[in-house]
Amino acid sequence: MAASAPVRDLKLGPGGRPSSIDSVLVAEDDPIFRHLLATWLDRWHYRVTAVDNGMDAWNALQQANAPQLVVLDWMMPGMDGVELCRRIRGNPHGLYRYVLLLTAKHEKQDIIAGLDAGADDYLTKPFDMNELRARVRSGKRILELQDALLRTQEALQFEAAHDPLTGLWNRGAILDLLQREVQRHQRTGSLLSVVMADVDRFKQINDTHGHLVGDAVLREVARRLTASVRPYDFVGRYGGEEFLAIIPGCAPIDLLHGAERLGHSVEDRPIETAAGPVTCTISLGLASSPIASEGNSEFESLLMAADEALYCAKANGRNRVEVASGARAAAAP
């Protein structure tokens, strides 16, 4: 029968998930000893889940945010602690679990068997309460190291794929995403479009107000573009003051209206900066698959067509949307 101590506030782990480092799963079939373990661990500020057999312990470990610290009795009905250790280590996915095995066995070969099964540490019964506390604390330190490494890994992965100024996908990442969407389009025949956007007269903003204000403008333009597309669209910084949006599954006429909405999101409200409000506009070029371009892949053709449409928008007065020639008829109302 499961029992748990009062819920305490937990730290957040990698990815904003609740941390399970401060949680302990206790599997012990003796009700008095199980209660004693839970009481001690709760007193030491751990969040405790206590069960009386190995199968219930295994099921508890399959739940979201299950404890990473596991205290197992060797002898339990159904599935003993050693078999449970083997099952835990046989599942390589997810976070590492630190396993402390409790046993009344004192023979060296028994202890070796428990460690070989996957236990990280062991205590022989009867044991001192302070020794249990020290060993659980050692396990927690190892899990905290794992948590720190995962946080660092996630931060590095984010930095590798995102532009440091705007937080958008960087050029390499947005092009990788486009390549993936092109492959999906070729496999399924789904609609695929791209939008290139460029901040009009951005050099003039930099020259007039300085680069810090220019950076603030780029950050806000990026934020407004992201807020104006659908959750499953992608927006990246293509380079300098130029942005690339990938819009899958959107009919041409809806794409045109959506691009106009992107332009209005920037034009309609001045951007607040340290130098005061700055008014700016963007020009946009649209292209959709399939698009003909002799000698080029569909990936290259889309980018070239959107870039040419963007050039036309600039040449025709800026602050406007132009559609690549291959998509004009489909986009017409």
In whole angstroms, what is the distance from residue 333 CA to residue 331 CA?
6
- DSSP codes joined into one string, 82-104: HHHHHHHHT--SSS--EEEEEES
User: How far is C-alpha 10 from the geometric centre of its chain's CA atoms?
Assistant: 20
Contacts of 212 (CB under 8 A, 6+ apart): 274
Q: List, in sequence order, the alpha helices (H) in 189-327.
A: 202-209, 211-228, 252-267, 298-315
What residues contact residue 234 under an 8 Å CB cut-off, 6+ apart?
169, 174, 177, 178, 181, 245, 246
Q: Cα 286–233–187 angle (5° rounding)?
A: 85
Tell me how far apart the alpha carbons of residues 74 and 272 are, in angstroms, rounded to a whole number.
65
Which candidate in 28, 181, 220, 241 is catalytic? 241
DSSP string covering 116-169 = HHT-SEEEESS--HHHHHHHHHHHHHHHHHHHHHHHHHHHHHHHHHB-TTT-SB
Radius of gyration of the chain (CA): 29
Q: How far apart are CA 73 and CA 71, in angstroms?
A: 7
Q: Count of residues for the chain?
A: 333
Closest CA to 20 of 80, 76, 62, 74: 62
For the question of residue 241 being annotated catalytic, the response is yes
Amino acid at 169: W
The one-letter amino acid code at 216 reads A
As annotated, the active-site residues are 241
